[in-house]
Amino acid sequence: MAITAKDVKELRDSTGAGMMDCKKALAEAGGDLEAAIDYLRKKGLAKAAKKAGRIAADGLVGCCVCDNGKSAAVVEINCETDFVAKNDDFKNFVTSISKYVNDNNFSNNEELLASKFGEEATLTDELNNLTLKIGEKIAIRRFHKVNTDGYIGSYSHGGKIGVLVEVAPDSDVSSNGEFQEMVKNVCMHVAASDTRFINENEIDEDFKKREADIYAAQLKDQGKPEDMIPNIVKGKLNKMASEICLMKQKFVMNPDQTVEKYIAEASKNFGANVSIKNFYKFNLGEGIEKKQDNLAEEVAKMTRS
């Protein structure tokens, strides 16, 4: 497979490794970006194991939770510039679509866009009208709706991050203010943290094996004795679990306690045991690379014409 300059640049942006190292990694991995990232990490050349694709799109992430906390939706709607993301018409549109998704049941974007939004027009028509009014392309990128027998909390961080957390209290405390505050605080923690799983038992074996292989390769390159590597890898996997599993993470509002301990202590105030069922997190523009305009080049083109 031919390795292009774009491929090399994408890997460099994702890892911070040198251009030649990125080119070699892609060649070794047959052009597979994820495998190339693993190769660089094993060689200790990746400065950070960033997720492929930069967060670079503009727009807003919106959340909507119904009054009783039994259903909620999170949506991402993109525009071309941050200027439009601050426009009241755009912000109001994001709010209305968040509520619209929560009030209905759509299985995918195609179904959502084809739905009647108003008396006659479809949502696609509404998008086109807003595009004409604002002067930029507006696109609904993704959404997720949750229904529960428990309770759902939400948190939006400046429209750049949207989080829903689904919890299951063992008694009905949904109207309790301290309970609602606790759920919101957990939502804020998820927004601020690299949270991928709820508990260690949710980490799939493929993920653990991949990380273990990377740790083992790094330790071997460091000259660690072969018989010591398995135990060191085990320790590193345990540490990793405490960093990416919600219940074992240090609570952002009080790093002296874990999220698990925070929930247990907060639950004493409203008299119910609470378990976390799921969480959903949207980072604005995650995985989208935004076109970077070069003003100097644009001016040069204009002066040459």
106: domain CATH number?
Answer: 3.30.479.20
Q: Is residue 34 located within the same domain as residue 82?
A: no
pLDDT of residue 12: 79
Same domain? 89 vs 187: yes
**Residues 63, 149: one domain?**
yes
> What's residue 140's pLDDT?
93
pLDDT truncated to tens, each residue of the chain (305 aa)?
A: 678 888 888 887 777 777 888 888 899 999 888 888 888 878 776 654 443 333 336 999 999 999 999 999 999 999 988 899 999 999 999 999 999 999 999 999 999 999 998 777 899 888 888 887 888 888 899 999 999 999 999 999 999 999 999 999 999 999 999 999 999 999 999 999 999 999 988 888 888 888 889 988 998 888 888 888 888 888 888 888 888 899 999 999 999 999 999 999 999 999 999 999 999 999 998 877 555 545 455 445 544 54
* 218 inside domain: no
If asked whether residues 160 and 45 sit together in one domain, one would say: no
Q: Are residues 186 and 73 in the same domain?
A: yes
User: Same structural domain for residues 133 and 168?
Assistant: yes
* Structural domain span for residue 21: 1-53
Give pLDDT, residue 46: 61
Render the chain in DSSP notation, one character per residue. Answer: -PPPHHHHHHHHHHH---HHHHHHHHHHTTT-HHHHHHHHHHTT--S--PPSS----EEEEEEEE-TTSSEEEEEEEEES-HHHHT-HHHHHHHHHHHHHHHHS--SSHHHHHHSB-SSS-BHHHHHHHHHHHHSS--EEEEEEEEE-SSEEEEEEETTTEEEEEEEEESS--TT-HHHHHHHHHHHHHHHHS---BSSGGGS-HHHHHHHHHHHHHHHHHTT--TTTHHHHHHHHHHHHHHHHBGGGSEETTEEEEEHHHHHHHHHHHHT--EEEEEEEEEETTTT-PPPPP-HHHHHHHHHH-
Q: Is the overall model pTM greater than 0.85, yes or no?
A: no
**Quick one: 126 and 145 in the same domain?**
yes
Whether 78 and 185 share a structural domain: yes
Whether residue 248 contacts residue 258, with contact meaning beta carbons closer than 8 Å, is answered with: yes
Domain end point (choices 53, 73, 97): 53
Do 112 and 153 belong to one domain? yes
Give how many domains the chain has, as a whole number: 2
Residue 92 is assigned to a structural domain of this protein: yes
5 lies in the same domain as 37 = yes
Domain-located, residue 297: no
Instruction: Among 53, 69, 93, give the residue marking a domain's end.
Output: 53
Q: Which CATH number belongs to the domain containing residue 33 in this structure? A: 1.10.8.10
**Is the same domain home to 131 and 79?**
yes
Pair 43, 78 in one domain: no
